[in-house]
Structure 1
Amino acid sequence: MSQQSHTQQAIPHFVHGARTGADAARTSDVFDPSTGQVQARVALASPEEVTAAVDSAAEAFRTWSAMNPQRRGRVLLTWVDLINANAGELAETLSREHGKTFEDAKGDIQRGVEVVEFAAGAPHLLKGEFSTSAGTGIDVHSLRQPLGVVAGITPFNFPAMIPLWKAGIALAAGNTFVLKPSERDPSVPVRLAELALEAGLPAGALNVVHGDKAAVDALIDDPRVKAVGFVGSTPIAQSIYEHAARRGKRAQCFGGAKNHAVIMPDADLEMAADALIGAAFGSAGERCMAISVAVPVGEETADRLVALLRERMASLTVGPSLDPSSDFGPVVSAQAKERIESLIQAGVDEGAELVVDGRGVVVEGHEGGFYVGATLFDRVRKDMRIHAEEIFGPVLCVVRAKDYEEALSLPSDHEYGNGVAIFTRDGDTARDFTTRVECGMVGVNVPIPVPIAYYTFGGWKASGFGDLNQHGTDGLKFYTKTKTVTTRWPSGPRQGGAAASEGASFVMPAGS
């Protein structure tokens, strides 16, 4: 965090359709992870600035919620068109601030766009139910109505996808949205909000405020904010969930992960090795769905898998995020690099076999960048820190299992329960695994089982707090409230006379 003179402008907030706070006195540095140099500063919102964003969202809610769902859907589809038209610019900005490669950044944007496309189907998704003649002359119907102002607190590792997941669904349902993205890579969320305004979203319907804990607390404490969505580390996810619950708000808070991939003896090991390389080291392992633990069943399977992984890792290139020859780029910060390398050392100290050591990578011309090379451990035990903790870096641990039941128990017994995969040719094994494993998202011969937009995304155990997940129909349920209406029209004389009275009843109505 830094103090800056008023002559230096920071990456601004976006409130009520305009950039604000560019001359903020309180800012945070934004690094280029490929060089290690500060490339910008971002304004940090005061509680008063957060209140102004909520004021704007509350004002816009009257207009946006009154618009029929079909018109809201058209605005979202126009927003999608504008995002696609500007995808190259957005991906380059994202890559420079985050450190993921340009192609990976385009994928970040595309997976977010897919959820907005799904959300544009709001006229169908928001339909209620109707029952005629539920009783004599009685009809019952239900309505799905927006909550009001809602908020999203999103992580650095997907600065386009997760804001789009949250805002797209919330806006489709008729809510207005205040986004607090990560201050590490803040530019893309601001640009997305500008494009939403250009698409026809009313000023104030989507506001972006950058900040730290002061901004988060101001959002949660404002009584006009009816729901909060968060993605980040488990301790903060649990803290925000509890804070929101104390304030009587809905919350969906997603935390850490330790995703396992079980490799059965009958698996296509070449395919499994290729899948693990991409799933473990893509985006430098900074994905909540990254595979960080491989569980080969049997010693022969393990020996062959480790040999294949080592062979493939020898040709991997870590380098600047915008260099087309880079397989993956740097991690997001110097602190992240230090933590990852300290956990690699912890693995060595606890007796794991370090097969490939990714520490000490220096990229010519980018010596100050936050680079960690692909790292492989073998013979990891489940009680080691590198298995227990989320490393969030390019580190793959091999935990050898003697049989299927031991392999199944590793992800099921772990603190986290986000994603898991199994590689096998046997349908019975796959069916048993998908039924019994204690994780929220499962892949069969699919290494990163992120559900498509019209299904729902969410982990179990310490990976998720709240009853409803992200996107899919769960997203619509989270961002709406259900109202049930029971109607009775009396029959009898209408002109000059009164309907016959049945008299007062003191008995609980029955459904017969």
Structure 2
Amino acid sequence: MHGKMRAGAAALTFLRSSASSSLFRVSSRSLHSPAFATVTAADISASQPAEVRNLVQGEWKASSSWNWIVDPLNGEHFIKVADVQETEIKPFVDSLHKCPKYGLHNPFRSPERYILYGDITTKAAHILAQPEVSDFFARLIQRVSPKSYMQAQGEVYVTQKFLENFSGDQVRFLARSFSVPGNHLGQQSHGFRWPYGPVAIITPFNFPLEIPLLQLMGALYMGNKPILKVDSKVSIVMEQMLRLLHSCGLPKEDVDFINSDGKAMNKLLMEAKPSMTLFTGSSRVAEKLALDLKGRIKLEDAGFDWKILGPDVQEVDYISWVCDQDAYACSGQKCSAQSILFAHENWSSSGLLSKMKFLAERRKLEDLTIGPVLTVTTESMLEHIDKLLQIPGSKLLFGGRPLENHSIPNIYGALKPTALFVPLSEIMKEKNFQLVTKEIFGPFQIITEYKHDQLPIVLDACERMHAHLTAAVEVIGKSVNGTTYAGMRARTTGAPQNHWFGPAGDPRGAGIGTPEAIKLVWSCHREIIYDVGPDQMVYLLKQKLRASRCAQIFSDINSDGDVGIACSSPIKR
């Protein structure tokens, strides 16, 4: 038992000792957490459990029951979440119903709110850039979704840069309109970006800060009233971020925040009928919601993501490092994680696989470069491996065994970074294809090899795959993946704030992080045609001429005394 506890205890000790070197030198929250915070990441434990509440109609509230979250490193109850039951959803439904279809703001109504959100974003970007605040969120992410500090800090960095990108006037620029001349004098058409009004956001566990915050701010920028549901296992991160935003001037009534199980949230959506719902998560739930919500949904669901290495062998050390990062960073729990690697036969003698094996085996639980898998158990991953090994010619390249000396609870997975080789000819067989391309949301990938004349077969395999989220690929014209990296430095897990990230080939596909993504997901097009007729047009031109004459008179007068009289004088026809 003591051996079993060693790695998990070491990981917790690592988190706490690392934290103590910067932000958390003593355990007093009031002294060593940011002013907005209600927790200290290093102190959260079974003896000092944290508490997460719901936000509705501007007030933080508890509920009739609490959902205890287990520590993914040792299985102890360490966070209690106010769990909204199906009988308690009415305040949330009422809150969404209060928001009109035309939103909280739009180009004609309360346009000053575009400026307000530019100011809020500026302040939030400044606060999140402070080392102690950035470290606070990185440590909090590590506690609930264990990943290396570099990965957690990278998530905070991308989030902070996103906020910088949409500071100041950038929010109002998202609502930029256009006009087109009409058919006759007095007619003109104008296109506007229009909010949906009441909307819902549902996000997963693997990026507790980046995904929910970027989608939430996009919804708010365009004038919507969102209700936000984050996976309860990690929702403490966004609860703390909402408190930061409130300290920056975010009106508390603008966002509702709910913790509940899937049934309660589904009932809320059915009763509140939000005009649009953004869902990031599993394909199975995504398809159910698409039916339940009658298509009023945008999806960023799971991806079986692929990488193709062409015939030119170069930079083997770098390529092996990128493959390791793409497949096993965050223990493979990225929707963009490398699921399958197609390597040209020229790479077989390059030492690529041995280098990947070496890098994978360096990962350890103590520094969270490998860690708990929060949605797939060890048993189910091993069962999947056994099924794949029944395919003729398949073999285990490395991994394939549970982590050792840990205290990760059985409800989660604990697997060493794993790679299996499956021959391309076997992958393409109908009886094997679905099994080989089944996404395992953990530290697992398929590797195969192709000859030069087999590239069309590789592309056919990519065409047959269901999810088209990310790819690293040499052939662009024959693929549809939404986020595609091409070239020697290509990767599958690039999701920074400076380019679109999301699937393609599906009209329901959602993007994140860019002006194009925000406008696509969180606004619709509204066309307003002005047709005032020639007579009114002449009148308007006269009014414009009068204003122009007044401005000229004003510029010619040295004193202000006669300006009112001069401007009120009639214009001769």
TM-score of the two chains, using structure 2 as the length reference: 0.74
8 Å contact kept, 2:96–2:274: no
Distance 2:246 2:83 in 1: 22
What is the CA deviation profile of residues 77-108 of structure 1, one whole-angstrom value per residue up to 9, with x for unaligned ones? 22233334422222212111112222212222
1:367 Cα offset (Å): 8.7
- Summarize the Cα distance change of 1:305–1:123 in structure 2 as closer, same or farther, 3 Å threshold: same
- Summarize the Cα distance change of 1:113–1:386 in structure 2 as closer, same or farther, 3 Å threshold: farther
Distance 2:326 2:495 in 1: 15
SS at match of 1:39: strand
8 Å contact kept, 2:303–2:470: yes
Residue 354 (str. 1) matches residue 396 (str. 2): yes
Aligned to 1:78: 123
8 Å contact kept, 2:313–2:346: no
- Summarize the Cα distance change of 1:308–1:95 in structure 2 as closer, same or farther, 3 Å threshold: same
Let me know the Cα RMSD of the aligned residues. Answer: 2.9
The range that moved more, 364-373 or 448-457, is 364-373
Aligned to 1:456: 500
Distance 1:448 1:93 in 2: 26
Letter in structure 2 aligned against 1:345:
D
Letter in structure 1 aligned against 2:301:
G
1:440 Cα offset (Å): 1.9
Distance 1:303 1:28 in 2: 51
1:493 Cα offset (Å): 9.6
Aligned to 2:40: none
Distance 1:137 1:465 in 2: 37
Aligned to 2:301: 255
Aligned to 1:409: 460
Aligned to 2:279: 230
The range that moved more, 209-218 or 55-64, is 55-64
Aligned to 1:421: 472
8 Å contact kept, 1:285–1:392: yes
Aligned to 2:113: 68
Q: Identical aligned pairs, as a percentage?
A: 18
TM-score of the two chains, using structure 1 as the length reference: 0.83
Within the candidate set 276, 279, 297, 2:344 is matched to 297
The range that moved more, 142-151 or 349-358, is 349-358
1:303 Cα offset (Å): 6.8
Aligned residues: 466
1:238 Cα offset (Å): 1.0
8 Å contact kept, 2:320–2:355: yes
Letter in structure 2 aligned against 1:229:
L
Distance 1:356 1:452 in 2: 30
1:165 Cα offset (Å): 2.1
1:135 Cα offset (Å): 1.9
Aligned to 2:374: 332
- Summarize the Cα distance change of 1:303–1:343 in structure 2 as closer, same or farther, 3 Å threshold: farther
The range that moved more, 77-86 or 253-262, is 77-86
Residue 11 (str. 1) matches residue 60 (str. 2): no
1:343 Cα offset (Å): 1.6
- Summarize the Cα distance change of 1:479–1:94 in structure 2 as closer, same or farther, 3 Å threshold: same
Aligned to 2:94: 55
Distance 1:198 1:319 in 2: 36
Distance 2:467 2:260 in 1: 28
Q: Where is the helix percentage greater, Structure 1 or Structure 2?
A: 2
1:447 Cα offset (Å): 1.1
Aligned to 1:498: none
- Summarize the Cα distance change of 1:76–1:60 in structure 2 as closer, same or farther, 3 Å threshold: farther
8 Å contact kept, 1:229–1:251: yes
Aligned to 1:145: 194
Letter in structure 1 aligned against 2:60:
R
8 Å contact kept, 1:251–1:466: yes
1:123 Cα offset (Å): 1.3
The range that moved more, 192-201 or 483-492, is 483-492
Residue 266 (str. 1) matches residue 312 (str. 2): yes
Structure 1 residues 392-403: aligned runs within 5 Å: 392-403=441-452
8 Å contact kept, 1:293–1:387: no
Residue 379 (str. 1) matches residue 413 (str. 2): no
1:391 Cα offset (Å): 0.7
SS at match of 1:240: helix
8 Å contact kept, 1:159–1:189: yes
8 Å contact kept, 1:261–1:295: yes
1:186 Cα offset (Å): 1.6
Within the candidate set 466, 476, 481, 2:519 is matched to 476
What is the CA deviation profile of residues 244-282 of structure 1, one whole-angstrom value per residue up to 9, with x for unaligned ones? 126xxx310222211111112213222211110111010
Letter in structure 1 aligned against 2:343:
P
Letter in structure 2 aligned against 1:218:
K
- Summarize the Cα distance change of 1:141–1:365 in structure 2 as closer, same or farther, 3 Å threshold: closer
8 Å contact kept, 1:47–1:214: yes
8 Å contact kept, 1:254–1:458: yes
What is the CA deviation profile of residues 180-212 of structure 1, one whole-angstrom value per residue up to 9, with x for unaligned ones? 110221210111111121111111212210111
The structure whose Rg is larger is 2
SS at match of 1:156: coil
Distance 1:49 1:76 in 2: 32
What is the CA deviation profile of residues 214-263 of structure 1, one whole-angstrom value per residue up to 9, with x for unaligned ones? 232133213452110001111111111121126xxx31022221111111
SS at match of 2:323: helix
8 Å contact kept, 2:421–2:447: yes
8 Å contact kept, 1:238–1:465: no
Distance 2:536 2:345 in 1: 83
Aligned to 2:64: 24
Aligned to 1:212: 261
- Summarize the Cα distance change of 1:272–1:128 in structure 2 as closer, same or farther, 3 Å threshold: same
Residue 313 (str. 1) matches residue 360 (str. 2): yes
SS at match of 1:153: strand
- Summarize the Cα distance change of 1:108–1:371 in structure 2 as closer, same or farther, 3 Å threshold: same
Aligned to 1:342: 383
Within the candidate set 237, 245, 249, 1:196 is matched to 245
8 Å contact kept, 1:133–1:139: yes
- Summarize the Cα distance change of 1:491–1:386 in structure 2 as closer, same or farther, 3 Å threshold: closer
8 Å contact kept, 2:73–2:407: no
- Summarize the Cα distance change of 1:454–1:134 in structure 2 as closer, same or farther, 3 Å threshold: farther
8 Å contact kept, 1:54–1:149: no
- Summarize the Cα distance change of 1:215–1:119 in structure 2 as closer, same or farther, 3 Å threshold: farther
